[in-house]
Amino acid sequence: MRKPVYAMVMIPLCFFLLNHAAFAAPAKNNAYGKKLTVTSNKSTIDSTNQGPVEPTIRVGLLKGRKAVSIGADMAFVVRDINSGMGLRKVDNGKLEIISKGGGLHIGGKAIAGKRILLKSANRGRSAIFDIDGNKYRGEIEIAWKNGSFSIINIIPVDEYLMGVVPQEMSPSWPIEALKAQAVAARTFALKNRGRHDAEGFDVCTSTHCQAYAGESAESSRSDEAVRLTRGKVITYNGELIESMFHTDSGGMTENSENVWGSKLPYLRSVKELKEKTMPWQQKYALKEVQARLLRNGHDIGRIRSIELSPLTIGMKSSDRTQSGRVSVVRFHGERGTVAISGENMRSIFGLKSTLFDIKLETFRTPRVKVHISTPDDRRSRKPGRDSAIGLEGLPNAEETQADSRLRQLSGEDDENIVFFGYGWGHGLGMSQHGAKAYADSGMKYDHILSHYYTGTVVGKYKDNKK
């Protein structure tokens, strides 16, 4: 009795698949599962209940376009997504798509549909599309709305990663670091499907999500890292994590609540093999600092002093986090005081990280008051006493200012404020340069990931989205 029922179910299913072939990926065995059936916007589900297969991801390539010319390395077909109707086959050359008269025109002819799909005419092979000189695997969706259209790349997640990993990490780096990056990037992509739902796609191509440049960016070594970790993701208590990563921590990563405001048990501050990595410096004239504060709504007039405790990596204080990153800087001006968070300082002054300190600099030799306010800075001076020193010929003058909590400005117009620090990025999760250092030391990729993501497990992906 089971066989006739099975046949009755499969006949309408076959017609469904034929009518929706634009959304189906080629069948293949892989680390995600054994058989493919129907692909939705969010995931690909195996109806045989033998486990999930490789999901697809929708990448927003371009928005607000009025016209585009798209070619491919093989013949491709154009279909109306809503009706499933075939509109055109392009054997060679490029297809011109424009927004005109309240809709889309392809090859000079108006079409009724607002969403079209471009895919390979060869069912056994995926096309590589050329858009504005960049190449992309998978399929291309054109979605028209309000006089312009978006261009969306619909692509299996591992092919997507082939265009992500070499953008996020140098392919010349150790393979274990590249594998760690591939797993972190895969986890981030799958966790964040739907991040740009309101715009009609899952993820963008910028660092807001992950840097992605398609087939044009691919490298054999990063491709290998993706292949060797196929299907591997990072989970905490069985759930995909927010696998944040950044360029360099400067010596110690950060707790999530100090950046996002919410505490995640797997984004905990951890130490690196090396400290004070990727040093940087940003210098501004006093007038420019005052102008930037004013543009951001902080009208305190002329700055009199700046309050910030000295930087020691791994040491917490009232204005620094556990890793030593700045939580708040106070500017005292002639019209009041403003407290600015470390993250807002990064934004206002274009700083590479919040792991920074501040010192003062002048080109002249005025007498500058430096308020010594901490017990460790007493040295030969009496505590709490203002001491006048000359900057010229005294290389330790700036260091004294950086070591005290209060930097007292001289009031001279030629004074500079110097931000100097370490690392690059928000400091959450995996440090990419730190991962390289661990890989250079012989650590395997899964151990690198477990170091940066506390209490997590690296295992095969299970798609629970239906």
- 255-270 in b/e form (b: 16+ CB < 10 A) is bbebbbeeebebbbbb
Q: Confirm whether pTM is higher than 0.75.
A: yes
Helices (H) and strands (E) in the chain, counts: 10, 29
Q: Find the farthest-apart pair of alpha carbons in the chain and give their distance in angstroms, rounded.
A: 98
Residue 354, phi-psi category: left (phi > 0), alpha (psi -120 to 50), beta (remainder): alpha
pLDDT tens digits in sequence order for the chain, 466 residues long: 433 333 333 334 333 333 333 333 333 344 564 333 323 333 333 333 344 468 999 999 999 999 999 999 999 999 999 999 999 999 988 999 999 989 999 989 999 999 999 999 998 889 999 999 999 999 999 999 999 999 999 999 999 999 999 999 999 999 999 999 999 999 999 999 999 999 999 999 998 999 999 999 999 999 999 999 999 999 999 999 999 999 999 999 999 999 999 999 999 999 999 999 999 999 999 999 999 999 999 999 999 999 999 999 999 999 999 999 999 999 999 999 999 999 999 999 999 999 999 999 876 544 444 454 444 444 443 444 343 333 333 333 444 455 577 888 877 778 999 999 999 999 999 999 999 999 999 999 999 999 999 999 999 998 655 3
Provide the pairing of β-strand 245-246 with 430-431: parallel
